[in-house]
Structure 1
Amino acid sequence: MEQLNTWFTQLLADNEIFTAQTIGYYAHGLANTAQLVLLSLLIGLMLAVPLAIGRSSSRPWVKWPIFLYTYVFRGTPLLIQLYIIYYGVVFVDGIQDTWLWLILEKPFYPALIAFTLNTAAYTTEIFRGAIKATPRGEIEAARAYGMSQAKMLRRIVLPSAFRRALPAYGNEVIFMLHASAIASVVTIMDLTGAARFVYARFYAPFDAFLFVAAIYLCLTFGILYLFRYLEKRLLAHLKPQT
């Protein structure tokens, strides 16, 4: 009888996990995760394009500082970068007396900075490789047509490089989605943070974390479908004609 009562009590507790309130926590966490990932990817992409062009330059004073930046951020864990930015900003002399402190004291913005710098480093190398892989014939044809260097980059090199970089960049987007789970360590209520909160309240780790794992899985499949669709549209000319 005691075991039956224990089982029944646990069953009731399990049923209380997915209430409107707890689903609201997950929804809030999903919104924070989406905002953090989308902003970091967007800003990181905007930074990565000029950095990739500079990284492909033949001028040492241009490419080597960019190489050092990408080497450091790709060679160290994102969690360590997040800790350094989140906790280290406090020790910058005088920053607490400036308007920047009103922004940086909130955990979202240090996390955004860390995620942006990390994804920009990876995306820079992805696009650099795609730029370097531009067929020599396309470049020579553009020069023969009389295009300037800037126009050739804008109309020939970058569109071609973007199409080649699309599969690798899709993997980077998925990596950033999964890496966003560490944002909860700096008190951001993301998806993983919501699961931790539900677990701490109901002591149900399997229900809390399996549910959030299912959400991540659905988001991952959605991203995969989106990039496969883009690859199908943008790389259709590379498929052999039957």
Structure 2
Amino acid sequence: MREIAAAVAGPVGRLGGAFMASREAKAYSAETGLTGWTPYFRGRFGVLGEVDADVVASAAGFFPLETVRQAWEAGAGLPAATAADRYAAVAHDFGRRTLADFAESARLADLLKLVADGADVVGAPLFGGWRAMPLPEDDRARVIHLAHVVRELRGGLHIVAVLASGLSPWRRSSAASRRSSPTANRTPSTSAGRARTPRSPKTYADGTTTPNGSPTN
């Protein structure tokens, strides 16, 4: 089981997180007027509801509280539920576009759903929140939605594992950042889609790489 988990970790992470740096995500940012980290936090963490930033930080794990609070509160004009629905639509549209030629979407969606339905939500609040979101009817959109759900399961358990090791997630993330090479990080994009050069790129332990812009995981 450990070997299987290790083998699928990378593919699930990429499949479930690629939509966050897609053209659909940039459109969502532009449409809502949210910039920097805000569209990411309001969208991904909107499933938690209208909560204090401390609650969001407890689920985010690998981000400093000040970053979470600034981004979360900057998007307060967009209701959390609306942001979550819009973020889900980003994932669905991304799946319809990128998996248009993938003939096994139905099978992959079914397999991902088996994993999601059989997992425990304890220790993985974002997983629980995203699993409760309505599934799209078409297979290609369902693949990305469910891959994101399973990715949130991995993310929640990652935080639990880091805590069990005696580290704080933020300390673990900072160590990962120091080990990463700046040249390995992609240049983040602004909400308008214009590239900018980061001054101090940082790779967080959950796979998100960016200094102060849109996530690139």
**TM-score of the pair, normalised by structure 1:** 0.24
The structure carrying a bigger helix percent of its residues is 1
Larger Cα Rg: Structure 1 or Structure 2? 1
> Scaled by the length of structure 2, what TM-score is found?
0.26
